[in-house]
Structure 1
């Protein structure tokens, strides 16, 4: 064999080897590209799923927050209605107390009207003063009792409203 033929075979072998290397590199590049595309598709799908789940979780949290706010507002509305009712009851009791005070004043004024006996007149004046003192004492005690009853009603209603709001929050947290 001549050197020309050997070089031709060698050139052909190198060309074939180059072609094989190019084919292998092209196959490798294609595999990497397909793998990257599949990974990117999975990543995009995972991101889309997370976004959807996040949006659903945010919407559920907003809905729950709005429900709790409505219930808390209802607790406040109920407490205001109870306070208005207690105030109306208090006004009725105040009117009854006022009538009692008028009657006690009339009784105290008539306590001194006795016979014309001078001893009875002195006793009548003492009885009038005592009746007036008792009448004023009754009036002050009744006013104080009314104030305390109003304060108690307001405190009781506020405590019940607070308790209801607390249980609403406690039940919503334990339900999650």
Structure 2
């Protein structure tokens, strides 16, 4: 049996060598193919990263442009609000002059009421009181109208600012 084994031993060794060579060639092919695919995947990943960086830079520029538009709209809106406030202050000063004139008229009526003789005293008192009430109503109405105008001007300015900010955002898309 040993002679038979010795006789086939070179053939067995040759078969083992051929199988080893084939396995080595296969393993080398798999390694080369894996390396090729890995380099392609790395190249694809690098392209994806570059595209992502370009996209992010582009979006950052767009965001900054939109933010600048919003900042400009806010700045313009604040100027409108400041102008409305200045106009309201000017109107309030003008109204103060009107209220002063009404107060002066009311005090003159009160003074004239004291100097009226007793015959016409009752009708004069009623007219004076009516004039004083009317003067007070006029002062209050003027003051309230000024307050409402100030609020309306500021609300309009804020609405315009909001609208411009929205337009800046929607035109950027």
Question: What displacement does 1:17 show?
Answer: 5.9
Q: CA RMSD in A?
A: 3.1
Residue pair 2:70, 2:165 contacting (<8 A) in 1 also: yes
* Paired residue secondary structure (2:58): helix
- In the alignment, the residues of structure 2 paired with residue 121 and residue 46 of structure 1 have an alpha-carbon distance, to the nearest angstrom, of 105
| 1:1-176 mapped onto 2 (5 Å cutoff) | 21=19, 23-111=21-109, 113=112, 118-120=118-120, 122-172=122-172, 175=173
Q: Is the CA contact (8 Å cut-off) linking 2:73 and 2:165 kept in structure 1?
A: yes
TM-score when normalising by structure 1: 0.76
Which whole-Å CA distance do the structure 1 matches of 2:120 and 2:98 have between them?
27
| Cα 1:41/1:18, change in 2 over 3 Å | same
CA distance in 2, matches of 1:20, 1:155: 91
TM-score by length of 2: 0.77
Matched residues in 2 for 1:37 and 1:49: separation? 18
**Contiguous gaps of at least 5 residues in structure 2:** 1-6
* Cα distance in 2, alignment partners of residues 72 and 41 from structure 1: 46
- 5+ long unaligned stretches in structure 1: 1-6
| 2:92–2:146 contact (8 Å) kept in structure 1 | yes
**1:3 counterpart residue number:** none
Distance in 1 (CA, whole Å) between partners of 2:81 and 2:16 is: 95
